[in-house]
């Protein structure tokens, strides 16, 4: 039988009963003859608690120690699952990132996996063990613990699936698949049966946190099919994320709506309109390692222009301080900040061949009197920035207008 990599998220291992439930499910696959690598997150809430502990001592905790601390959450869950499996008569061994030889770069809190040495884990699989690996963590070449960014266990799972040539990387979570939009915001959201890597990548980058972006990037690069499933339901095919060719001709115009509340908007008014102005404003921001997402510069009238961009909400204060200083230096009139914004995005492969999606979207929002602050488009997505208070209204309106609750996906 084939090798499966299964990842269980925080809510799936939230307490002892849930851990027993995971053990029972793993046993079922093992009894059916599969080899298994199981990747776990920390019990839900644990990572946040650990982060808060570090922050209560320091606003800027030493990154090396911060990673060493937050990585402990996963070490608790992997040991507990291994104990539970043993109680059910299944041989299991837990591995932290270092033991699993998950080598990463040195970028603490958002490290990238460079390589996984498969030798030890392969030996255990050959010896009939279920291998239980701590998600979200790795080790540098000089032995420091690193973490892979929030939601990073998804990436651990895909990296292991690629390394060991798993048939499928199964991501078990608290929803039974990827939905047309976040079911917590639109209860009428429908589960998608299939989705291309490209669409999932857009949805993840635009704010659907069901999968970490990097896990989808890796899956696309190494062609690892991902299946998102519920850890609480016995049956169900979940959502398969795979290549466009596998999806075939059935791609929908719009597959999903992503919602991102984690951005903030900065506007600089009355910027002298001369070459180099965008660099002046954004150069300092990027030197401070702050990622800028959307950018809009208006056509200038009286030799001055207005310039608006968005940054991650966590970077907002820092970005405002930098921008205010730059604005003064270049003689801009005023800086305005707005944290109460949300980015709503439509994603779908079919947009490539269908015109009119944008105008339909704008009309639907206008009919609801929702003002659009910014717009950005690419081949398979359209994003708008609007006031946070319209999140639900805009999402439900667009879900309805594009018939997402009716399509057979």
Q: Is 170 in the site for ligand ADP (CB under 6 A)?
A: no
Nearer to ligand ADP, 126 or 234 (CB): 234
Q: At which residue do the structure tokens 């970490």 appear?
A: 212
- Provide the CA 75 distance to its chain's centre, in angstroms: 22
Q: Is 41 or 267 the residue whose CB approaches Mg ion more closely?
A: 41
Identify which of 133, 22, 144, 147 has the alpha carbon closest to the alpha carbon of residue 85: 22
Residue 258 CB-half CA count within 13 A: 26
Which residue matches tokens 């207008």? Answer: 401
* Chosen residue from 210, 319, 357, 398 binding ligand ADP by CB under 6 A: 210
Q: Phi then psi for 308, rounded to 5 degrees?
A: -125, 140
User: 106 touches which of ligand ADP, ligand ASP, Mg ion, none (CB within 5 to 8 A by kind)?
Assistant: none
x/- map, 27-66, ligand ASP, by CB under 6 A: --------------xx----x-------------------
Q: Which of the residues 217 through 256 are near ligand ADP (CB under 6 A)?
A: 256
Task: Please count the other Cβ atoms lying within 10 Å of the Cβ belonging to residue 123.
Answer: 11
Pseudo-torsion of CA 287, 289, 291, 296, nearest 10°? -20
Nearer to ligand ADP, 18 or 27 (CB): 18
Q: Is 131 helix (H, G, I), strand (E, B) or coil?
A: strand
30: helix, strand or coil? helix
- How many residues of this chain interact with ligand ADP, rule: CB under 6 A? 18
DSSP assigned state of 371: P
Which of 129, 136, 179, 307 lies at the binding interface for ligand ASP (CB under 6 A)?
136
Q: How far is CA 292 from the centre of its chain?
A: 17
Which is nearer to Mg ion, 151 or 238 (by Cβ)? 151
Asked if 151 is part of the footprint of Mg ion (rule: CB under 5 A), the reply reads yes
- Distance, in Å, from the CA atom of 213 to the CA atom of 104, rounded to the nearest integer, reads 17
What does the block give as tokens for 389? 């208070």
Contact 226, 175 (CB under 8 A): no
* 286 to 325: interface string for ligand ADP, x by CB under 6 A: ----------------------------------------
Of 97, 138, 151, 238, which one interacts with ligand ASP (CB under 6 A)?
151
Among the listed ranges 169-177, 309-317, 357-365, 380-388, the one in contact with ligand ADP (CB under 6 A) is 169-177
Interface residues toward ligand ASP, by CB under 6 A: 9-10, 41-42, 47, 73, 135-136, 150-154
Interface residues toward ligand ADP, by CB under 6 A: 9-12, 41, 151, 173-175, 178-179, 181-182, 184, 208-210, 256
């Amino acid at each position: 039988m084939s090798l499966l990599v299964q990842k269980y998220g925080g809510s799936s291992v939230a307490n002892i009963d849930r851990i027993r439930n995971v053990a029972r499910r793993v046993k079922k696959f093992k009894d059916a003859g599969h080899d298994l690598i199981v990747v776990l997150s920390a019990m839900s809430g644990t990572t946040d608690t650990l982060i808060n502990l570090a922050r209560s001592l320091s606003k800027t905790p030493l990154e090396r120690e911060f990673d060493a601390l937050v990585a402990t959450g996963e070490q608790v869950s992997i040991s507990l699952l291994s104990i539970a499996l043993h109680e059910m008569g299944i041989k299991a061994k837990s591995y932290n990132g270092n033991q699993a030889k998950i080598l990463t770069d040195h970028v603490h809190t958002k490290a990238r996996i460079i390589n996984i040495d498969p030798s030890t884990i392969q030996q255990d699989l050959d010896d009939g063990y279920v291998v239980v690996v701590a998600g979200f963590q790795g080790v540098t070449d000089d032995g420091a613990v690193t973490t892979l960014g929030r939601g990073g266990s998804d990436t651990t799972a895909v990296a292991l699936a690629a390394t060991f040539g798993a048939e499928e990387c199964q991501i078990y979570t608290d929803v039974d698949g990827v939905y047309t939009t976040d079911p917590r915001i639109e209860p009428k959201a429908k589960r998608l049966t299939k989705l291309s890597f490209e669409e999932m990548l857009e949805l993840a980058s635009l704010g659907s946190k069901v999968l970490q972006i990097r896990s989808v990037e890796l899956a696309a690069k190494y062609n690892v099919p991902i299946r998102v499933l519920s850890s609480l339901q016995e049956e169900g095919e979940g959502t398969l994320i795979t290549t466009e060719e596998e999806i075939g001709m059935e791609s929908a115009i719009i597959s999903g709506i992503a919602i991102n509340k984690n951005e903030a908007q900065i506007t600089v008014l009355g910027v002298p309109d001369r070459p180099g102005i965008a660099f002046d404003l954004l150069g300092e921001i990027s030197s401070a390692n702050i990622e800028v997402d959307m950018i809009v510069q208006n056509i200038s009238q009286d030799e001055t222009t207005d310039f608006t961009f968005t940054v991650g909400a966590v970077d907002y204060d820092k970005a405002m301080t930098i921008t205010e200083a730059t604005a003064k230096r270049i003689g801009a009139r005023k800086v305005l900040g707005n944290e109460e914004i949300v980015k709503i995005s439509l994603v779908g492969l079919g947009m490539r061949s269908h015109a009119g999606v944008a105008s339909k979207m704008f009309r639907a929002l206008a009919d609801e009197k929702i003002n659009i602050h910014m717009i950005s488009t690419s081949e398979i997505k359209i994003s708008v920035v609007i006031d946070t208070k319209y999140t639900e209204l805009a999402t439900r309106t667009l879900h309805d207008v594009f018939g997402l609750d009716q399509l057979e996906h």
